[in-house]
Amino acid sequence: MSHVFPRHSKSQPPVAVGGEGVWLIDAEGKRYLDGSGGAAVSCLGHGDPEITQAIKDQLDKLAFAHTGFLTSEPAEALADLLIDHAPGDLDRVYFVSGGSEATEAAIKLARQYWVEKGELQRSRLIARKQSYHGNTIGALSAGGNEWRRQQFGPLLLDMSHIAPCYDYRDRAEAESPEEYGLRAANALKDEIERLGPETVMAFMAEPVVGATAGALPPVPGYFRRIREICDEYGILLILDEVMCGMGRTGTLFACEQDGVEPDILCIAKGLGAGYQPIGAMLCTSAIYDTIAKGSGFFQHGHTYIGHPVATAAGLAVVRAILDRGLLPQVRQKGEALQQKLEARFGQHAHVGDIRGRGLFRGIELVQDRATKAPFDPALGIAGKIKKAAFAEGLICYPMSGTIDGRQGDHVLLAPPFIISEAEMDQLVERLGRAIDAVLP
């Protein structure tokens, strides 16, 4: 019997023993096409010799030095590389071990910024429904996924959640995408006014929503209006690119495509590409300097921040994304994948929407295409598709949930950037068989 705390107590998963490119291999020799890179993690695929070599080299030099005393060469080099490519005024990097640590740090940094400025009343965070920012208490409080929150309600912090930007469901027929984007963004203004602008510290959002909404991109202009509103009230904009960042959407940072510059930006997943656990929080010099001139240090920290081996892996990964020309490939392959999905599912009676950016794609499943009515969550459609796909040798990321009683089910795809045309065909074919098995 396995003593590893499994994800689902009722079943033991197969044991993974190897990985090659977009494929994972279990102890029985069965091969799985990693169509979601785990959870949008394995952007370079499995078994990349350059990344493993960089990790081995670093281990031979230095495995660990506590950042309370020392910094390290890979941490400095990775911070420089990220800052060179980051949008706007982001110019400091705080390395952590994953996504929840990054968003949790962002929430605390925002609060400390206002404390240092003497605006102690600013403690409210506004985020969005149908979002996910991580599983620790602060991050879970910021997230708007009811299913993940439901058992922990009494422990969660009081944060506000406005409606997401959800073109497929919320744009009125008479509205242009731009008009809808303005209306959706103005919900932030209304919420700031409702709470009292002097009490709000920050707004947090995923540029392209991942786990809770199936690669849901914003409409043009939405985030520019969000930025304007944040500026108008002087509140901080925190973008969570834990899932959609690091080239996943075809630009190193997803927000580049929305012409918006955050005050704080969180990344993880693709930063380590699965080779090491690593995340990061980037912030502007305005925030950093306020704290540096105030109490002098960010009142936060974990034992493994800036870990030399993790940052060496991150450095090799970001260099690979940039130097191997993967960003234009993600854009081109993403368009091809969208077309393949449309060809296979465009007329499917239970596929309501096919969307996304780059190699970050989602399919929204509905009971009825005309009314967009979702399936009853009790049917657990997404879970059944995950199982059927796994039996087909496909790893994809289906999710179901209920938000205001309506969200329903979707399948998220986030294959490694190195996926070939033939492998994309296999992905779509296997997913098609799985969906047909569950929804004939």
Applying CB under 6 A, the residues found at the interface with ligand PMP are 39, 98-100, 103, 132-134, 206, 210-211, 240, 242-243, 268
Q: Which is nearer to ligand PMP, 41 or 79 (CB)?
A: 41
For the bound state, the minimum distance from the C-beta of residue 139 to ligand PMP, rounded and expressed in Å, comes to 6
What DSSP designation does 395 have?
E
For the CA atoms of the chain, what is the radius of gyration? 21
| H/E segment holding residue 107 | helix 99-116
Q: Which is nearer to ligand PMP, 236 or 266 (CB)?
A: 266
**At which residue do the structure tokens 């969000």 appear?**
226
Q: Which is nearer to ligand PMP, 129 or 344 (CB)?
A: 129
CB 261 within 8 A of CB 227: yes
Q: Which is nearer to ligand PMP, 219 or 271 (CB)?
A: 271
Q: Which is nearer to ligand PMP, 105 or 309 (CB)?
A: 105
For the bound state, the minimum distance from the C-beta of residue 240 to ligand PMP, rounded and expressed in Å, comes to 5
Residue nearest to ligand PMP (CB): 99
Strands (DSSP E) contained in 150-299 are 160-162, 200-205, 236-240, 264-267, 279-284
Q: Which residues pair with 238 in a beta bridge?
A: 204, 264
For the bound state, the minimum distance from the C-beta of residue 255 to ligand PMP, rounded and expressed in Å, comes to 13
Q: Which is nearer to ligand PMP, 99 or 415 (CB)?
A: 99
Residues with Cβ within 8 Å of 113's Cβ and at least 6 positions away in sequence, in order, are 201, 236, 287, 290, 291
CB 282 within 8 A of CB 82: yes
For the bound state, the minimum distance from the C-beta of residue 108 to ligand PMP, rounded and expressed in Å, comes to 15
Per-residue DSSP letters for 41-91?
Answer: T-TT-B--HHHHHHHHHHHHH-S---TTT---HHHHHHHHHHHHHSSTTEE
Go through 90-102 and write b for each residue having 16 or more CB atoms within 10 A of its CB, e for each that does not.
Answer: bbbbbbbbbbbbb
**At which residue do the structure tokens 């091809």 appear?**
336
For the bound state, the minimum distance from the C-beta of residue 210 to ligand PMP, rounded and expressed in Å, comes to 5
For the bound state, the minimum distance from the C-beta of residue 344 to ligand PMP, rounded and expressed in Å, comes to 26
d(C-alpha 73, C-alpha 79), whole Å: 10
Q: Which is nearer to ligand PMP, 281 or 424 (CB)?
A: 281
For the bound state, the minimum distance from the C-beta of residue 209 to ligand PMP, rounded and expressed in Å, comes to 8
Q: Which is nearer to ligand PMP, 87 or 277 (CB)?
A: 277
For the bound state, the minimum distance from the C-beta of residue 264 to ligand PMP, rounded and expressed in Å, comes to 13
d(C-alpha 140, C-alpha 127), whole Å: 11
Q: Which is nearer to ligand PMP, 240 or 423 (CB)?
A: 240
For the bound state, the minimum distance from the C-beta of residue 277 to ligand PMP, rounded and expressed in Å, comes to 8
CB 78 within 8 A of CB 271: no
